Chains A and B, each alone.
Chain A
């Protein structure tokens, strides 16, 4: 059974600092890995998807890396802003289903 772990569980940084969010998974036979953002009282917003054959994906200030062999992914958010405050979820897909981590709750202080 796939187990997904996210560290740290919570993070508080001053505005402008870079964010580093970690995700690890136990079974490296994944199809892809997806990072989501969840705002309080809202659903999930897809941020980045990395295929198993890829090493990284970038979108604006966001960059996600994937090391499938070691079962790790890292989400980097450059020059954080208060609007980046949210819970970030990592999910790995194997076969047909997504397995989620518990998330990292980020607070960016103005």
Chain B
């Protein structure tokens, strides 16, 4: 398993500003994922971030709006740019561990963002 921390845990931001969310893992992982959970809805994958390569974005998400960094095997950041109230969500990072039997995803505690 993994211990995943996120900063900040919550924030209230003004529209038009940007927020960078940090995700730290206590062990080295190849694949990290960023998800969004809008109020009352389930999780939607934003992008997959592999160390040393550009993030891969899912349909409906673009790099200009959600730039991602992955400088090493234990850390990643997601920036929510030019925020609007529609960006109010929980943002979660996730990592995947693989052993010879299975691949399991573990999640951080989430960052609760409210945009006014």
Q: Which residues of A contact B (CB under 8 A)?
A: 4, 31-32, 34, 36, 41-46, 49, 51, 89, 91, 93, 96-98, 100-103
A96–B48 touching, CB < 8 Å: yes
B42–A97 touching, CB < 8 Å: no
List the count of A-B residue pairs having beta carbons below 8 Å apart.
52
Chain B residues with Cβ below 8 Å from A91 are 43, 105
13 pairs from A and B in contact (CB 8 Å cutoff): A31-B103, A34-B105, A36-B107, A43-B4, A43-B107, A43-B108, A51-B101, A89-B43, A96-B31, A97-B48, A98-B43, A98-B94, A102-B42
Chain A interface helix/strand/loop/mixed: strand
Chain A residues with Cβ below 8 Å from B94 are 98
With A89-B43, A96-B48: A43-B109 Cβ-Cβ less than 8 Å: yes
Q: Which of A46, A102, A103 lies in contact with B105, CB distance below 8 A?
A: A46
Number of interface residues of B (CB under 8 A): 23
Chain A residues with Cβ below 8 Å from B110 are 42-43
Interface membership of chain B positions 77-112, coded 1 if the CB is closer than 8 angstroms to chain A and 0 otherwise: 000000000000000101000000111111111101
